[in-house]
Amino acid sequence: MTVPAEVRTRALRLALENAVAHDGAARVEPIVGRLLATDPTLRPLAAELRDLVSAVVADVLAIPGPELADRLAQLGGPEAARPREAASTGGDFPDLVGAVPGKVVLRLAPFPSGALHIGHGRMLFINQHYREQYRGKIYLVFDDTIGSEEKRVETEFFGLIEEDLASAGVRPDAVYYKSDRIPNFYPWARRVIDKGGAYVCTCPAELLRENRAHGVACAHRTQTHDETVEEWERMLANAYGPGEAVLRLRTNLADPDPAFRDRVLLRISDIDHPRVGTKYRIWPMLEFSWAVDDIELGITHVIRGKDLVIEDRMQRYIWDLLGITGPPFLHWGILRVREAKVAKSKAYREVKSGQFDGWADPRTWSLRSLDRRGISMEALRAFILSFGMSLSDIEVPAETLYSENRKRIDATTVRRAFVADPVRVEVEAFPDGLETVVLANHPERAELGTRRVPTGPEFFLARRDLEGKGGTEVRLKDLINIELPSTVPAPGQPLRARFTSRENKRIPRLQWVGAQGALPVDILGIEGEHTAGLGEATLAEAKPRDILQFERVGFVRVEQNWVPGTSPLRVAFGHP
C-alpha cells in the first residue's frame, strides 16, 4: 500500500498553515498527527506518511517567509478565507465616526433565552475590541421584553449570560434590564403620537398582514391626533386584551420593504415576566425600545450584525420624526462555522427536555461548551477578530477555529495513550526487563518531562487498527515489534501475538495501552456521541479541566477525577 497522491496536497496545506503560525518553522509531528487523527485509513501507512510529510516540510522550509501566506491562499486552505488586512494592526476595523477616546459608550443586547453561543462571538469581541481601542465603556442591556410562548425569558438566563461574558473577558461597566425601564417608553410613545407619527390599530392580525403585504391602509390609519391619544390612554388603562390593539408607526405604505410598512411600536401582553411578573401589560417592540434607550443611556455607537438593518431604519425614522440625532451604526456580516448547527430555540428545547447535557453540551456550540472542550476564549477572540468588520457573509470550517486553539495549547499539552474498542493482546516471548517504559510527555518539548508507563506482556490495541493486518508485523509505537496472528478473535477473546524485535522498523505503528493499570475512559464527542475505550495508567492522575492530547485521537479536556472501581474517566473531545 502507498499513501494516496491527494494526501500530499493536504499535507502541504497543513505544513503551510503550520509555517504561517510558527514564523516559517513548520514541524513534522503535528502534521502527521493531524492527518492520522482526521483520516483513520492512513494509520496503516504511518511510516510512509511520515516520510512524505518530512519531504513536504523540507520544501516548505525553503519558501521565503513573506510568500507562505500567498502559497497557502493558492491552495484555498482555511487561512485563505481570512481577509488579508487582518494581518495588519486594525486594518480591517474602521475608525468609529466621531469617536472621542475615553467617551465611547457601546452596548451588548442579548435576549435572555439561553446561554451565549459561538454566533454571539462577534457581538462580544468586536465591541470589546473597540472598547479597548477607544478606552470606552460597554453596557450590558438585557433585551428582556416580552417574547413569545416559544421564546420566553427565564430567570436563569440572566446569570448564565453574565457568566459567559466574564469567561470571555468582557466585563460590562453597567447592567440594565429593559423590564425595569418599561415606564420610560410610554412618554416617548406619546411624543411620537403628538408628532402625528403613530395610531392605535385594532385590526385582526391576519388582516394586518394582508394590508401590509399589499400596501393598503387600514381604517384606523386616518385617526386624528385626539382619537389616537384617547385610544392610547385606553390601552394604558387595560381596556384591551392581548392582540386586540397595538400602537403602530405611520410609515410609507408604498415602501419597497413590506416589513417596514406601519410597524408595531408597542403591544399588549399578559405573559408573566420572570422579573416583573404582570406589573406591565404594554410592552415595547425591540426597535422602539432601542430608539429610546440608545438616547437615554448615552450610547455613542451601535455596532451589530447587518441582519439588524431594519432596526436601524426604525430607530432613525423615530429619531428623525422627533428631531433627535442618534448614534451612528456600524455593521458586520454573518460569520458561520460550517459544522456549528446553531439554533438557540432548538437548543432550548433539547436542554429543557434533557436530551442535551445542559448548556455545556457540545451540540449547543455555546461558549461554555467550547470551554468544556478545551477551546479557549482567547482562541475564539483571535478567530473572530481575524475576519474584521467585513460586510460579506463568511462560512469557514471549524478547523479554522481549531487552528487558533492549537497554536495556544499544542506546545504545553502532554500526550497520553488511548485505544477505542480495545482488544487484549498477549505477546509471546516478551522481553525480560521491559515491564515499564519511559515515554516523553511531548515529542518536541523536553521541558514537559517524561512519564513511566506499564507495558506488557499484555496490551490493549484498538480493534480498527488491527483490521487488515492479520499475519503481518507491526510496531507498538515507541516500544517493540510484534507479529500478529492471521485472524482477529471475536470480541472478548484475547489475541496472541509474537515478539519479533525492538528495532525501529518502517512498518505500521499501532497505539497501545499496557494492560496493567489501564483504566476505562469515556470520550464525549462533538455530536453528543460517546466513545468507550481504555487509557494508560497515568491517566489516573488527571485532574478536572486538564487538557491532554490522546495520541492519534486529538485534544480532550478532563471532566472529573477518576475513582477506581466507579465510572470511567470522562473527557470531552476538543478537536484533532
- pLDDT 10s digits, 36-74: 655 656 767 877 888 888 888 888 888 877 677 667 766
Q: Is pLDDT of 87 > 50?
A: no
> pLDDT at position 180, please?
95
In a domain, 505, yes or no: yes
Q: Same structural domain for residues 497 and 533?
A: no
In a domain, 134, yes or no: yes
**CATH number for 298:** 3.40.50.620
Q: Same structural domain for residues 473 and 544?
A: no
Lowest mean pLDDT among 69-78, 372-381, 469-478, 479-488: 69-78
Question: In which domain, by residue range, is 122 found?
Answer: 101-335
- pLDDT average, residue stretch 332-357: 86
Q: Is pLDDT of 162 > 90?
A: yes
Lowest mean pLDDT among 35-49, 406-420, 445-459, 462-476: 35-49
Side-chain half-sphere exposure of 128, counting CA atoms within 13 A: 19
Q: Is pLDDT of 342 > 90?
A: no
In a domain, 369, yes or no: no
Query: H or E segment at 21?
Result: helix 6-21
Q: Is pLDDT of 265 > 80?
A: yes
Q: Same structural domain for residues 508 and 525?
A: no
Q: Is pLDDT of 382 > 90?
A: yes
Q: Is pLDDT of 84 > 70?
A: no
Determine the Cα–Cα distance for residues 200 and 265; give it in Å rounded to an integer: 10
Q: Same structural domain for residues 32 and 114?
A: no
Q: Could you report the per-residue pLDDT of 498-514, keeping only the tens digit for each?
A: 999 999 999 999 999 99
Determine the Cα–Cα distance for residues 366 and 429; give it in Å rounded to an integer: 52
**CATH number for 464:** 2.40.240.10
Q: Could you report the per-residue pLDDT of 443-453, keeping only the tens digit for each?
A: 999 999 999 99
- pLDDT average, residue stretch 264-270: 95
Q: Same structural domain for residues 180 and 252?
A: yes
Q: Same structural domain for residues 53 and 127?
A: no
Q: Same structural domain for residues 69 and 110?
A: no
How many structural domains is the chain composed of? 4
In a domain, 235, yes or no: yes
- pLDDT average, residue stretch 338-363: 87
Q: Same structural domain for residues 111 and 71?
A: no
> Residue 222: which residues within 8 A CB-CB, separation 6 or more?
none
Do residues 314 and 302 make contact, with C-beta atoms less than 8 angstroms apart? no
**Average pLDDT score, the chain:** 90
In a domain, 348, yes or no: no
Q: Is pLDDT of 228 > 50?
A: yes
> pLDDT at position 47, please?
79
Q: Same structural domain for residues 123 and 180?
A: yes
Q: Is pLDDT of 515 > 90?
A: yes
Domain boundary among 302, 335, 368: 335
| % of the chain with per-residue pLDDT over 90 | 69
Determine the Cα–Cα distance for residues 159 and 124; give it in Å rounded to an integer: 16
More confident residue, 84 or 462: 462
- pLDDT average, residue stretch 360-376: 96
Q: Is pLDDT of 553 > 90?
A: yes
In a domain, 465, yes or no: yes
Question: Following DSSP, what letter does each residue of 542-570 receive, concatenated?
Answer: --TT-EEEETTTEEEEE-S---TTSSPEE
Q: Same structural domain for residues 564 and 434?
A: no
Q: 493: pLDDT confidence band, cut at 50, 70 and 90?
A: confident
More confident residue, 81 or 373: 373
In a domain, 390, yes or no: no
Q: Same structural domain for residues 471 and 547?
A: no
In a domain, 361, yes or no: no
> pLDDT at position 76, please?
47
Q: Is pLDDT of 89 > 80?
A: no
328: nearest Cα among 106, 92, 93, 101: 106
Q: Is pLDDT of 90 > 80?
A: no
> Residue 273: which residues within 8 A CB-CB, separation 6 or more?
144, 146, 153, 179, 279, 280
Provide the sign of the torsion angle of the four alpha carbons 366, 371, 373, 375, taken in this order. Answer: positive
| % of the chain with per-residue pLDDT over 70 | 92
Q: 28: pLDDT confidence band, cut at 50, 70 and 90?
A: confident
> Residue 390: which residues within 8 A CB-CB, separation 6 or more?
83, 92, 332, 333
> pLDDT at position 295, please?
98
**CATH number for 526:** 2.40.240.100
4: nearest Cα among 43, 42, 60: 42
Domain boundary among 463, 482, 513: 513
Bridge-partner residues for 453, per DSSP? 437
Lowest mean pLDDT among 68-72, 128-132, 250-254, 484-488: 68-72
> pLDDT at position 153, please?
85
Q: How far is CA 196 from CA 219, 249, 350, 405, in A?
A: 16, 9, 46, 55
Domain boundary among 22, 51, 81: 81
Q: Is pLDDT of 550 > 50?
A: yes
Q: 490: pLDDT confidence band, cut at 50, 70 and 90?
A: confident
> pLDDT at position 513, please?
98
Bridge-partner residues for 575, per DSSP? 555
- pLDDT average, residue stretch 92-121: 94
Q: Same structural domain for residues 136 and 25?
A: no
Q: Is pLDDT of 324 > 60?
A: yes
